[in-house]
A and B are shown apart, each in its own frame.
Chain A
Amino acid sequence: DIQMTQSPSSLSASVGDRVTITCRASQSISIYLNWYQQKPGKAPKLLIYAASSLQSGVPSRFSGSGSGTDFTLTISSLQPEDFATYYCQQSYSLLFTFGPGTKVDIK
């Protein structure tokens, strides 16, 4: 099975900061990588699919990059509504494993 890891597990940042979250797969998954945002008490929201494709309606301050085993989610200028937990997910295998999550909170 493909294992997903994320770093850091949490971070504190200020509004306007540039934030980068890393996701690593235990084997090469090409670009079959999605990113989700989840706010407390809410369902997750798809932000990025296929490693770098922005889901419709998602602000352009969110971007994704990477291929193979290493991926990043970048928020170019953190907004108040971006404080949340972010998960990566691989869609390379039929078991759609999620990463453990990265919690972004207010500094």
Chain B
Amino acid sequence: EVQLVESGGGLVQPGRSLRLSCAASGFIFDDHAMHWVRQAPGKGLEWVTGIGWNGAGADYADSVKGRFTISRDNAKHSIYLQMNSLRVEDTAFYYCAKDIRPSIAAAGFNGFDSWGRGTLVTVSS
């Protein structure tokens, strides 16, 4: 059974940093791209960033570009999201999601077939 478990969320002041982790199990981790998707309370889904099986292909939503960095450790079956210069508008549930494809490419039939339960990040003074 595929399992994705996010951790690292919490309350943080504006301008500070936070690092999220996602531990994966139940599938061949190296065979799949991975993503972070966020959802502000009561709002819709926003794709944040994704990374290919080999660490390539990472891109970022304009709202986080230059502040967030995604990485992965295939040996630990984990991905990470380093979030710097946090803003109040970054407050959201952050979901880790598994891609059906190994790489991220334009027009690549990517889709997210497994999701974690999410971790809540609250940015407030």
Residues of A participating in the B interface, judged by any CB pair closer than 8 Å: 1, 30, 32, 34, 36, 38, 43-46, 49-50, 55, 87, 89, 91-101
Residues of B participating in the A interface, judged by any CB pair closer than 8 Å: 35, 37, 44-47, 50, 57, 59, 61-62, 95, 100, 104-113, 115-118
Q: A96-B35, A97-B47, A98-B45 are in contact. Are A46 and B107 (CB under 8 A)?
A: no
Q: A87-B45, A91-B111, A98-B47 are in contact. Are A43 and B59 (CB under 8 A)?
A: no
Q: List 19 A-B contacts (CB under 8 A).
A: A1-B62, A30-B107, A32-B109, A36-B112, A43-B95, A43-B117, A44-B115, A46-B100, A49-B100, A50-B109, A87-B44, A89-B45, A89-B47, A92-B106, A94-B59, A95-B59, A95-B61, A96-B47, A98-B47
Residues of A contacting B117 in the complex (Cβ-Cβ under 8 angstroms):
43
Residues of B contacting A95 in the complex (Cβ-Cβ under 8 angstroms):
47, 59, 61-62
A90 to chain B, nearest CB (A): 10
